[in-house]
Amino acid sequence: MRLTLALTALLFLASCIVHRLDVVPLPLENTEPIRVETPVKAHLRNGSTIVYADGMEVRNGVIYGSGMRYDLGLASATAVSEVPMDDVAAMESYQTPVSKSATTAATAASGTGILIGSLLAAVALFGSCPTVYALNNNAQLPDAELFSYSIAPSFQSRDVDTLGLAMATDGVVSLSIRNEMLETHYID
């Protein structure tokens, strides 16, 4: 059970990219231009919002960039190219820095978990059950797989399989039981 939980956790880990959220306040009194190349939202004092999908630049107390201004109810939008910083209450920029080392480690760990889980599943599922072969028209054909659901001692139960044999004309049915895996089964 612990192994199953560990493997499941590794699988979920593989589906994630490790990133973080950073809040980085920028001083407005900076005389150097500030260029942001990711999407930016500017929340204005009058309640409207400007979305700069391709980023913007702040120079000399003015925001420059191709943006769309939405009113308070988001009912209308108008194009904007510059806005004085005095009209802005707050701004937010959306960046998703990815931790490359953590993502690489998570991917490697989950890949290992997937490999181990696949190998364990292959051992548990492929050919671990004896196969009954019946002689039909002088050919040995696989006819049933014994103990299909008994992959662990706690699942042990009676197993009744229907053989697809035609009625033997001479009254003799020839069966052989083979196991493709190198393991021992006790048939009582």
Query: Rounded CA gap, 157 and 148, in Å?
Result: 10
Residue 68: predicted pLDDT? 94
Residue 10: predicted pLDDT? 66
Residues 82/96, Cβ–Cβ less than 8 Å: no
Give the strand pairing for 62-70 and 56-59.
antiparallel
Average per-residue pLDDT in the chain? Answer: 78
Choose between 168 and 179: higher pLDDT: 179
Query: Per-residue pLDDT tens for 42-58?
Result: 999 999 999 999 999 99
Query: Rounded CA gap, 62 and 83, in Å?
Result: 6
Query: Per-residue pLDDT tens for 85-111?
Result: 889 988 888 777 777 787 778 778 878
Query: Per-residue pLDDT tens for 116-157?
Result: 888 887 766 665 677 888 877 777 777 777 776 666 667 677
Give the strand pairing for 77-84 and 175-178.
unpaired
Q: Which one, of 85, 67, 68, 86, lies nearest residue 77 by Cα?
A: 68
Give the predicted TM-score (pTM) of the model: 0.45
